[in-house]
């Protein structure tokens, strides 16, 4: 099947008229996306943690900056996402949030990083056997696996993380649960963050917080 190429004339920018777009992170890709959208006349906000050094850089570029708390409120109040799970720090700030619009455990996750870029792309597969097949495929082709097949406490999903040749982190995942619209969000404490992200190990894999695109 021949791949179809898309170019500028194929896009209809009117779909974004009157809308606000949130860019999570201000690394190399976040920086480019935010400025390109703004130059195209789109209202843009940038989501960054309160301690991020990129906040000043984004603000100097004339962009409105938001942290995880603010970005979460934006997705909930403006885009009608529902908060399903969160990690709340000892200081009361949200360290990470998971939100959905499809009644699955999450469609997007917000979490700060040291250089505030894109953390990863995620690809859904049908079951645990497909996770194992993905690991076998990566190993066979010499692809760097960052996190072997494991489970998240948050969302109850099973997953595998690997890096593509461009240096982007990718996740293959399955599992999760259907959301009860009347249920309160599940809250994890800062002390439980390790188990929330890496359920079997019980500690945060610091490597997972050090590479952003």
Q: What are phi and psi of 90, to 5 degrees?
A: -65, -25
CB 87 within 8 A of CB 68: no
For 77, half-sphere exposure in the C-beta direction (CA atoms, 13 angstrom radius) is 6
Q: What is the pLDDT along the chain (213 residues), one digit of tens a residue?
A: 577 777 778 777 777 777 777 776 787 778 888 888 888 888 887 877 667 778 888 888 888 777 788 778 888 998 899 999 999 877 777 878 898 898 888 888 887 654 445 677 888 899 999 999 999 999 999 999 999 999 999 999 999 999 988 888 888 989 988 888 888 999 999 889 889 988 998 887 767 766 666
Q: What is the pLDDT of residue 115?
A: 46
Query: In this structure, is residue 2 part of a structural domain?
Result: no
Residues 6 or more apart in contact with residue 99 via CB below 8 angstroms: 72, 75, 76, 81, 82, 83, 84, 106, 107, 108, 109, 110
Q: What is the pLDDT of residue 114?
A: 43
Q: What is the pLDDT of residue 138?
A: 95
pTM: 0.64
Token pair for 107: 């469609």
Q: What is the pLDDT of residue 186?
A: 94
Here the CATH number for the domain that contains residue 107 is: 3.10.180.10
Query: In this structure, is residue 1 part of a structural domain?
Result: no
Q: What is the pLDDT of residue 10?
A: 79
Query: In this structure, is residue 69 part of a structural domain?
Result: yes
Query: In this structure, is residue 195 part of a structural domain?
Result: yes
Number of domains observed in the structure of the chain: 1
Judging by beta carbons within 10 Å of its beta carbon (0-12, 13-18, 19+), is residue 194 exposed, middle or buried? middle
Query: In this structure, is residue 3 part of a structural domain?
Result: no
In angstroms, the CA 98 to CA 13 distance is: 28
Query: In this structure, is residue 125 part of a structural domain?
Result: yes
For 175, half-sphere exposure in the C-beta direction (CA atoms, 13 angstrom radius) is 17
Q: What is the pLDDT of residue 24?
A: 67
Residue-range definition of the domain harbouring residue 192: 8-209
Q: What is the pLDDT of residue 205?
A: 75
Q: What is the pLDDT of residue 116?
A: 46
Query: In this structure, is residue 98 part of a structural domain?
Result: yes
């Amino acid at each position: 099947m021949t791949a179809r190429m898309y170019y500028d004339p194929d896009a209809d920018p009117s779909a974004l008229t009157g809308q606000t777009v949130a860019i999570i992170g201000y690394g190399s890709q976040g920086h480019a996306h935010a400025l390109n959208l703004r130059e195209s006349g789109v209202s843009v906000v940038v989501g960054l943690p309160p301690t991020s050094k990129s906040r000043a850089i984004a603000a100097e570029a004339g962009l409105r900056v938001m942290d995880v708390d603010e970005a979460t409120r934006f997705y909930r109040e403006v885009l009608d996402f529902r908060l399903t799970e969160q990690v709340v720090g000892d200081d009361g700030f949200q360290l990470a949030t998971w939100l959905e619009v499809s009644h699955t455990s999450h469609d997007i996750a917000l979490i700060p990083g040291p250089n505030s870029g894109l953390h990863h792309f995620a690809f859904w597969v049908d079951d645990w056997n497909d996770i194992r097949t993905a690991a076998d495929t990566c190993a066979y082709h010499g692809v760097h696996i960052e996190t072997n097949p494991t489970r998240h406490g948050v969302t109850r999903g099973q997953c595998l993380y690997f890096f593509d040749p461009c240096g982007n982190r990718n996740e293959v995942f399955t599992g999760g649960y259907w959301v009860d619209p009347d249920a309160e969000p599940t809250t994890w404490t800062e002390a439980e963050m390790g188990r929330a992200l890496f359920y079997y190990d019980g500690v945060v894999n610091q490597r997972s917080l050090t590479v952003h695109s």
